[in-house]
Structure 1
């Protein structure tokens, strides 16, 4: 599945899509631009995903269907968030309605034009009301925000930097594909980093959750867990645990990094001091 935002095209033909995709076994849907503003395009391999329905809004595009290999009924949403607070509310409400209408597992991705955490905007000292409402919407929808581990921001303009591009999936989707991760692709001339969703290959067997003693002695760990648990509010207990596990994985990487390498460097430093 490939999503393109701000196509700036009022009409997109099969020839246009083929030039991007490269071969003919392709399905696509688009939302036309308003002159040179906006425009959305979704493309997929017909042999992998069979589309059954399509829904469109001014700032989002939904394709419902089935992943043929796993017979997984699902819907993909390409989102281009609005700029103003009231317009953003309209987008979130429309998406909530369509998600309820489809009643299948779903994945939302694109430029949401909003952050979830203060750390996602350079120089931010507090969350704006629109960001608080976006975070409430994510929690109410019980969405998992897939962590982006290879960079901190996805949008750059001058000295301004934010993480406004993301991939959100519901809990059932994450249970079906627990090893999905996202990384940034080459930016080129764009002011956005493209996001690439990948499924990590792991050995078969149960995936066990492990904690480290060092977590509980790390300053701010318990406060972070308590705040996240409260933010999840009335979500089911198991959903809270799964959402918390995703957060802990990102927090561990940010806080401890490559532990084996750090230990090796410390051992080398000890040997140098001893010598």
Structure 2
């Protein structure tokens, strides 16, 4: 399964549909998470324009407010890769739960657009925490969190300690993890490139990362939105020849696993603890 997360800032422009459709084709995407559709009626969504002439399923949360200028969440997926079993809708997220081909455990895909207000964000973190505690399976949460984790994730805009503390507590409390993001440090750019922040991201449960430890997360160049598209590719990637020699017969030798684990555990990692296991898995 390959995922796209994008705050598209309205889907009224047909050029945006062509942009997303090209991303889908170029990156072999199976699940699209689009935010801020600014559409209140299902009849005005036209998900076919994003997906192309292929079979798909979709669900959405309408926008709110006057003139359709607030929110709107749309998820589109390939039913041959993901079999839907349940959906749950909130003011700020769309949860689709089901089975990914080849994975026996349920996967919960949460397409999220967080509010701006600090208390409203805390209420959202509490709501999702309760949901995770009461729902079994793998978790992947994609979207615009309207929060950063540290001062380095903002440039020329105010860093809110309370907001970051609340967000980090939510991540650690639920055992969520992040893949290293390639492509760019920031996902949102405003004021002609002056203000930058990393408010869009992908969080996953440890069980999700254990299934796809070598997945790659990339922030692509901006085009028709002030947010960068995020691509999570869980497919096995070919990085060329192995940098060291190893023989299959070694796997059956007594003590082989101990040697590998000791080598990984003896390394030094300086960074957030929720990323340390990923570094080990990619070593």
Which bin holds the TM-score, normalised by the shorter protein?
A: 0.7 to 0.9
1:138 equivalent to 2:171? Answer yes
Deviations 1:210-256 (A, max 9, x none): 67x9x86xxxx7xx45xx45xxxxxxxxxx7xx42336899x9xxxx
Query: 1:18 maps to what in 2?
Result: 48
CA RMSD for the aligned pairs? 3.0
Distance in 2, Cα, partners of 1:87 & 1:14: 29
Distance in 1, Cα, partners of 2:45 & 2:227: 26
Distance in 1, Cα, partners of 2:157 & 2:38: 31
Q: How far has the Cα of 1:24 moved from its partner?
A: 4.3
Query: 1:194 maps to what in 2?
Result: 229
How do 1:73-112 and structure 2 match up within 5 A? 73-112=106-145
How many residues align structurally? 230
How do 1:179-218 and structure 2 match up within 5 A? 179-199=214-234, 200-201=236-237
Runs of 5+ consecutive residues of structure 1 not aligned to the other structure: 230-239, 253-275
Distance in 1, Cα, partners of 2:82 & 2:43: 20
Q: Which has the higher contact order (CA 8 A, sep 6+)?
A: 2
The 8 Å contact of residues 151 and 159 in structure 2, kept in 1 or not, is answered as yes
Query: 1:237 maps to what in 2?
Result: none
Taking structure 1 as the reference length, what is the TM-score of the superposition?
0.74
The 8 Å contact of residues 8 and 39 in structure 1, kept in 2 or not, is answered as yes
Q: How far has the Cα of 1:126 moved from its partner?
A: 5.8
Distance in 2, Cα, partners of 1:23 & 1:95: 35
1:53 equivalent to 2:86? Answer yes
Query: 1:122 maps to what in 2?
Result: 155
Taking structure 2 as the reference length, what is the TM-score of the superposition?
0.72
Radius of gyration: which is bigger? 1
Q: How far has the Cα of 1:131 moved from its partner?
A: 1.0
Distance in 2, Cα, partners of 1:122 & 1:86: 23
Runs of 5+ consecutive residues of structure 2 not aligned to the other structure: 1-30, 252-256
Q: How far has the Cα of 1:123 moved from its partner?
A: 4.4
Query: 2:209 maps to what in 1?
Result: 174
